A and B are shown apart, each in its own frame.
Chain A
């Protein structure tokens, strides 16, 4: 099983450019999410989805868009890149995530983005 696959692994952008980070999972998980990781700040939630066609904002959604047209895919779009978006981005999925049934998160290997 591939699990959670993220592409690209590395990307360098210039300020103002747009790009899409791809995330795909083959575990038939309903729940998918995007986190960013910055030194000393842990993992901060950008957006999440509890199923196809449903998305919601996390802690730090500004400057990012998501969509969930299929169960498998959850792309993250940077509309106009800024140096503050330089970070490592992780996609994570779970079979379920709510108070009654909290499954573990399966993470992709990460995408390291640098914005100049």
Chain B
């Protein structure tokens, strides 16, 4: 079945440093979504990318969708302690009407 891989699994940065997480799918995606889950919380939708090569920004967060629509990245500039959490990418399952989630990247920010 479809697989969505995310790297790294975990990253620990100093406040002010940049952070990037990468998402790779075994199949071409119709679109990709990103979610953030704070410790002890539930996933919250951040953004959806649809077009090949699309780049979207939300303040310090930059999201990219690859030209082949098989990979995506989330880059955070100048991390803050409020960025702590786990970031998940999710793509439409090829066989079901469902989202397949990556395993997530846990971000820890040292003040």
Number of interface residues of B (CB under 8 A): 26
Q: How many residues of A contact B (CB 8 A)?
A: 27
Contact B43 A102 (CB under 8 A): no
Question: Once the chains bind, are B9 and A102 in contact (CB under 8 Å)?
Answer: no
A48 B30 Cβ-Cβ under 8 A? no
- The total of interchain contacts (Cβ-Cβ below 8 angstroms) comes to 67
| Chain A residues positioned under 8 Å from B1 (CB to CB) | 59
| CB <8 Å contact, A40 and B9 | yes
A48 touches B45 (CB 8 A): no
CB neighbours of B102 from chain A (8 A): 42
Say yes or no for B42: interface residue by CB 8 A criterion. Answer: yes
Q: How far is the CB of B73 from chain A (nearest CB, A)?
A: 17
A40 to chain B, nearest CB (A): 7
- Chain B residues with CB under 8 Å of A45's CB are 93, 96, 98-100
The residue in chain B whose Cβ has the minimal distance to the Cβ of A35 is: B101
Q: Which of B42, B98, B104 is A109 in contact with, Cβ under 8 Å?
A: B42
Q: Say yes or no for A116: interface residue by CB 8 A criterion.
A: no
Does B48 count as interface, using CB distance less than 8 angstroms? yes
Known A90-B42, A105-B45: A98·B103 in contact at CB below 8 Å = no
Pairwise interchain contact A99-B30, C-beta atoms closer than 8 A: yes
The chain B residues found within 8 Å of chain A, CB to CB, are: 1, 6, 9, 30-31, 33, 35, 41-45, 48, 88, 90, 92-93, 96-104
What 15 additional pairs, Cβ within 8 angstroms, besides A42-B88, A56-B96, A102-B33? A42-B104, A43-B90, A44-B101, A45-B96, A45-B100, A48-B96, A50-B97, A58-B96, A59-B100, A102-B92, A102-B99, A105-B35, A107-B42, A107-B43, A109-B41
